[in-house]
A and B are shown apart, each in its own frame.
Chain A
Amino acid sequence: MSAITLIHGLNLAAIYGLMAIGISILWSSVGMINMAHGATFAVSGYTAWQVSLVLKPIIAAAFGNSVMASVSMAAAMLASGILSGALFGLLIYLLAYLPIHDKANFAVRSLIMTLAINLATVQVLLYLFGPNQRGLPKIFGFGKVELLGVNMRYDQIGTIVSTFAIMLLVLAWLRYSRKGLEIRAMMQNPEGQSFPAYPCAGQHFPSP
């Protein structure tokens, strides 16, 4: 196996790993298999791309080709991606969690609901943007660097490093924060999911 394959594998694994964080926290805390998680990423990606298209001439006019241009583009994409992902998450919560979370067979029901949301979203995105791949602006910059005899692109390094950083942050959050303590408690007592009498676990059933 060549080192190049390894780098490409790591890059892809980092992207999937990032998605897996959300899926696994949701599954182990509230017992929901969120099939629309991929759709959330797609919506975030397309929103960030649209925002980048709109902002490109504005940023170019304001900052030219400087570092500030890259930084402001990165910030705008990050903010729009996170915001749209959060809004889409809210939609999933309103459609596939709130109405059915206290019904029997919640895991299966939510799986069906989120699968439907996923299929519908993918079709809408295909209708709006077509099947071609779209490239986001390279916020980590263009270029390559040779590490241990292997050429790595900046965006590959950026993806792998930021995924590790995000994973460490999530780990620290789960371990040391109050919310993290509550989530771990929920993960450990499956009964707690359906029985929020425990003051701590009750927090995971947000009031409508």
Chain B
Amino acid sequence: MDEVLSIRRLNAGYGPLRVLHEIDFTVREGERIGLVGLNGHGKSTLFRSVMSLVGWQNGSILFKGREIGGSRSTGAGRKTHSIVRLGIALTPQGDAIFPGLTVNQHLDCGAYSRIAWRERAKRRDMVMDIFAPLRKLEHALVGTLSGGERRMVSVGRALMTEASLYLIDEPSLGLAPKISTSVVEALFSIPTEGRAMVIAEQNVALLSGRVDRMIGMHAGRLRGDVGHVSLG
């Protein structure tokens, strides 16, 4: 299988604070990977450094053989739009929503590439197929939705871009167990042919037995690649 993402010796942090220590991490095409670990151990920072959003970083990040990492100590976010255009979509932690936009407008925001924007109606339809409860809320303001629905919109927006790597940061954060299960169910219904998905999550039980590999993260280091895990 081809490598979609290959990270070598990645260090990253914010100001004097070093969060990631010598990360080596590979994602292959078709994989679903669970990145598990406690709060504050660097899961989000790993995602953010792939998107060039942390304060500083150094080390190699190859996306489909193309270097998107390197050393950088200023200009967080300056390269992000071109990384999105290359085909990486990030769903940030929490509800990254624009409360005064409707669900449709919100999803359109995610259609970043020119092709995605042209095909936005078709893509919205695809997102609504995955997150069925959104279909009847197309014209509702996102600020009026429930937590679970908002999370669906937030994840759905990432799906609007043509991405071959999806980074989903804590899809269950702050949701009731039943609702987080349905959000994660919907995530797993997304076909992974030609793509890959990394889901950062604190709740190991939600991902158990359903991801190809489960990787632990502790104090900014990757701890063990445990492969297929089922908590039965």
Which of A's residues lie within 8 Å of B, judged by CB?
Answer: 102, 178, 181-182, 184-185, 188-189, 191-192, 195-203, 205, 207-208
> A residues within 8 A CB of B117?
178
- In the complex the two chains form, is A181's CB within 8 Å of B108's CB? yes
B194 to chain A, nearest CB (A): 20
* Residue B38, interface by CB 8 Å: no
For B, the interface residue count at a CB cutoff of 8 angstroms equals 32
Interface of A is mostly: helix
Give the chain B neighbours of A188 by CB distance below 8 A: 98-101
B96 at the interface (CB under 8 A from A): yes
Q: Are A208 and B98 in contact (CB under 8 A)?
A: no
**A191 closest partner in B (C-beta):** B96
Those of B69-122 within 8 Å (CB) of chain A:
74-82, 84, 89-90, 92, 96-101, 105-106, 108-110, 112, 117
Give B24-46 as 1s and 0s: 1 = Cβ < 8 Å from A's Cβ atoms.
00000000000000000000000
| 19 A–B contacts from the bound complex (CB under 8 Å) | A178-B108, A181-B105, A182-B109, A185-B98, A188-B100, A195-B77, A195-B92, A195-B96, A196-B53, A196-B80, A197-B51, A197-B77, A197-B90, A198-B157, A199-B109, A199-B110, A202-B80, A202-B84, A203-B81
Complex contacts, A195 vs chain B, CB 8 Å: 53, 77, 92, 96
A200, B80: Cβ atoms closer than 8 Å: no
Interfacial chain A residues near B158, Cβ < 8 Å:
199
- The answer on a CB contact under 8 Å between A197 and B100 is no
Most buried by B among A182, A197, A200, A202: A197
Q: Which residue of B lies closest to A201 (CB)?
A: B109
Contacts of A198 in B (CB 8 A): 92, 96, 109-110, 157
List chain A residues, Cβ under 8 A from B82: 207
| In the complex with contacts A197-B51, A197-B90, A198-B92, A207-B79 CB distance below 8 A | yes
